[in-house]
């Protein structure tokens, strides 16, 4: 049984969002003891800026109070990931890539020395041992196709911080056959091991 699940929605659509419907069903199916929720579409995160980068690259014990405050949200996002053993992410494909809100989240959680570290053998992710399920929806960008920059990017970034057990549930032909695409994705959700 999943103890702590982090549920992330990234669609800017509140009603009629395929990914919101799929992530809700996945979370329901997994029946976690505790669910943390982030809505990156309804409550967009700030973009990283010069102050954030400066604070992030200042050693933790040398940070000013203002720098600690600048990193507080990022620290909270990282803590949510660290606490979760399962992460469910809604990935609507916008213009062949991830939504801006999801990209902002990635920028805030990809931190050297915190979620990954550089070694003599290259970078090593520190958020290991987690299961990630991504509910992807697009009009016609097939998951894994040459035009699929969203799923490939998300899979790479999750692996970069240590989360390499990633499953995709795709409703990726909504513009051509929405009913069949959603039905196929819903069937995939029902096959997920709880």
Rg of the Cα trace of the chain?
Answer: 17
Dmax over CA atoms of the chain, in Å, equals 56
Residues 151 and 144 sit within 8 Å (Cβ to Cβ):
yes
11 known ligand binder: yes
CA distances for 14 relative to 7, 56, 132, angstroms: 15, 33, 23
Rounded to whole angstroms, the Cα distance separating 117 from 157 reads 14
Annotated binding site: 11
Can you say which residues are annotated as belonging to the binding site for FMN? 11
């Amino acid at each position: 049984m999943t103890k702590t699940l982090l549920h992330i929605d990234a669609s800017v659509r509140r009603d009629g969002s395929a990914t919101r419907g799929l992530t809700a069903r996945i979370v329901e199916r997994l029946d976690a003891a505790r669910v943390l929720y982030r809505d990156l579409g309804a409550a967009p995160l700030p973009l990283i800026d010069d102050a954030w980068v400066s604070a992030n690259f200042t050693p933790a014990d040398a940070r000013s109070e203002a720098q600690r405050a600048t990193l507080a949200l990022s620290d909270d996002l990282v803590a949510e990931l660290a606490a979760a053993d399962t992460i469910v992410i809604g990935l609507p494909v916008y213009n062949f890539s991830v939504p801006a809100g999801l990209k902002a989240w990635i920028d805030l959680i990809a931190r050297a020395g915190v979620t990954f570290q550089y070694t003599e053998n290259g970078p090593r992710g520190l958020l290991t041992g987690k299961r990630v399920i991504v509910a992807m929806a697009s009009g016609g960008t097939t998951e894994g196709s040459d035009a699929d920059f969203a799923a490939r990017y998300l899979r790479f970034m999750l692996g970069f911080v240590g989360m390499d057990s990633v499953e995709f549930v795709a409703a990726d032909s909504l513009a051509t056959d929405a009913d069949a695409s959603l039905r196929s994705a819903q069937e995939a959700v029902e096959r997920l091991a709880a």
